[in-house]
Chain A
Amino acid sequence: MHLPPAHPRRSSLSSSPFGSRPRALALAAGLVAAVTLTGCGPASGAGGAAPGAQEASPDGPLTIDNCGFEVTFEEAPARVVTIKSSAAEMLLALGLGDRIVGSAFLDGPVPEWLAEAAEGTPVADPFSDDVPGTEATLELEPDLVYAGWESNVTSEGAGDRDTLARLGVATFVSPAACKTAGYMPDPLTFDGVFAEIEQVGAIFGADDAAAALVAEQRATLDAVVPDDRGLDALWYSSGDDIPYVGAGIGAPQMILDAVGLGNVAGGVQDTWTPFAWEKVVDADPDVIVLVDAVWNSADDKIARLESSPATSQLTAVREKRYLVVPFPATEAGVRNVDAVAGLAEQLAELNLP
């Protein structure tokens, strides 16, 4: 596994701003609790064995260092609360939809290829549109909270990682979303994304499904030939007066590299960054990638670009060189490869000289 090379230690960023402080004793207690609980199964007695296959990891307990927080899985989790589309879609793609007991904070509809897998699962009926509160999460009696953002597992959200661990609920944050120094991928690569798929597979005892998925995605990725015309792009994510754009080390850069487009904001050492229209105009990108989100659609962005006197004169705007990518596909997860393929196709259709 390609995990960041740092020794496991408590991540103070992800723990609650006002909760208990990590101490060796609490760590031990948390581990004991996690071990005891995952050994005993869901606590309140309502869960029992989850329907469907539940394989314990063949190698015994699995301990991982997740964003600086040590998590041990005695058994594969059977009751998962997912937060954000990336987490939900990861589990669906690995055929683990039956383990999901609640999904929250979806960023948009699931892709077509996962629509059938989502049917009948809580992903089709999320219990919260935004980050859920701790009690609401615990009410579902999860044994794992799988979060797409590190901030989802704080005390204002689904719960502080320490507190949840003490209650026997494991937490797993998508490694690509870690913000702590040493854990933040710099830069994010497809190898890293695939490593997450494999790690999740290992946690759930679904190694075969993971390996298959990774192989499939690699194949799709390899089939895309990066464009070699030296074109550059603006990755326009959101923002009006001040645009929020994809920067140099995150998923946007990773996707653009695979497509063969340069990033006008690629010099910024961040995942996403606020930018300035002036610099956009100065760079005059060849194409503009528009992130299509439910709250801020590609059409909204086009309208904005075309109505503003400064940006309306950009080459890409005048000639309508737009590439569209759906928002959930822009966070590290199982849809990045599709994003690459989709963008490459759209780029080819533009028939640029």
Chain B
Amino acid sequence: MSARTGLWTAGAVAALLVTVVVAVGIGPAGLSPAEVWQVVATRLGWGEWLGVAPPGRLVDGMVWQLRLPRVLTAAAVGAGLALCGVVMQSLTRNPLADPYLLGLSSGASLGAASVLVLGVSVLLPVAAFVGATAALVMTLLLAAASGRSGGVGGPSPTRTVLAGLAVSQLAAAATSFVIFLSAKGDQYREILSWLMGSVAGATWTSVAIAGGAVLVLGTALASTGSLLDSFTFGDTAAAALGVPVARVRWLLLVGVALLTGALVSQSGSIGFVGLILPHAVRLLVGAGHRTLLVLSALFGASFLVWADTLARTVLDPRELPVGIVTAAIGAPVFAALLWRGRQA
């Protein structure tokens, strides 16, 4: 069992590396692998040693300022979203849960739309983050206030999910209102693009933020595999196994909210990654969380990089927001999952 897991992990890591390398070489501009290699080698300081000529400024810009940050950001966002998806599905014991469940994405969208409309889009990452956290707080307060379930870990998962739905709807309505009231001219485009999710504007700062969040928060979340396993048979069983259910649930939710908020602030709300990847990986390696978390992150990273590569090239010279590609792939997969569940 352990050897099999190790094999899968090694495979996933290899797949991710190959994905990143290949994706950087693909794009609307017909750059040859040689040119891409030129840029990377020069930037890493190996140019002279390897006898590689320095690339032209625009080629260098395209590879180093556009494609590479974008691919790396997509990888980080994909990994983080998949991780959060696993945690959310386990915490809420709901296979249809995703990272945005507790109002996180709607709150972030409200924050983002507000600043885009007010014309201070420099504050966008902060606003998205604040929006996500505010929505989470509202959800948890609402769930707690809606009655004592008599259960072990505070409000029941169902109640929390429903509270999250309520907050999501509220935030979505507020977002529409903000847009309607104040958006001028083609602010609609920017807002729409954000709502659909895109890594088009990724810079090395985005890589730092998204990557840093995944490394710090993601690693922390990924280490909670055993804890999440305890929740398999419900809160009471977990409590009887010595898990401080309410505290763990709270900490995990906060972790997910922070990580999701950070990711969403860089890429908008890219859907379906957090929902589908956990299921796909479970099909491959079963439900043990230690393995599930790590592999979901790795495969999530590769998946989003490929989705973004598609988004960049399928409608050349235009670019699709990557959220459309993930939805186009994710929705049929989701339907298939439901279908299988029905027949099982």
Contact = CB atoms under 8 A, between A and B. Distances in A.
Q: Do chains A and B touch in the complex (CB under 8 A)?
A: yes
Given A17-B190, A19-B201, A136-B29, A44 B58 contact: yes
Interface in A42-97: 43-45
A117 to B, nearest CB: 24
B112 A138 contact: no
B119 A156 contact: no
Contacts of A174: none
B58 A132 contact: no
B66 interface: yes
Interface string B254-286: 000000000001111000000000000000000
Interface residues of B, number: 47
Nearest to A169: B58
Contacts of B296: none
B124 interface: yes
Contacts, number: 131
A181 B321 CA distance: 28
B128 to A, nearest CB: 9
A168 B59 CA distance: 12
A151 B185 contact: yes
Contacts of A270: 184
A20 B209 CA distance: 12
A15 interface: yes
Q: How large is the interface on A (under 10, 10 to 19, 20 to 34, 35 or more residues)?
A: 35 or more
Given A17-B190, A18-B206, A130-B318, A37 B201 contact: no
B193 A156 contact: yes
Interface stretch (A107-115, A159-167, A199-207, A218-226): A159-167
A103 B321 CA distance: 22
Most B CB contacts (10 A, CB to CB) among A104, A138, A166 go to: A138
Given A141-B58, A168-B58, A151 B190 contact: yes
Contacts of A169: 58
A167 B58 contact: yes
A208 interface: no
A-side interface mostly = loop
Contact of B185 (A17, A44, A141, A149): A149
Interface in A145-186: 149-151, 154-156, 160, 163, 166-169, 179-181
Given A133-B317, A134-B200, A139-B28, A149 B57 contact: no
Interface in A231-265: none
B29 A44 contact: no
Given A18-B206, A156-B201, A43 B58 contact: yes
24 contacts: A17-B116, A17-B124, A18-B201, A18-B202, A43-B56, A43-B57, A44-B59, A104-B317, A133-B319, A135-B28, A136-B28, A136-B318, A137-B317, A149-B185, A149-B186, A151-B190, A156-B189, A156-B200, A163-B65, A163-B203, A166-B65, A167-B65, A169-B58, A179-B185
Interface of B: 27-30, 56-59, 61-62, 65-67, 112, 116, 119-122, 124-125, 184-187, 189-190, 193-194, 198, 200-206, 265-268, 312, 316-319, 321
Given A156-B319, A163-B66, A270-B184, 9 more contacts: A12-B121, A19-B205, A135-B312, A139-B28, A139-B29, A139-B30, A150-B185, A156-B200, A167-B65
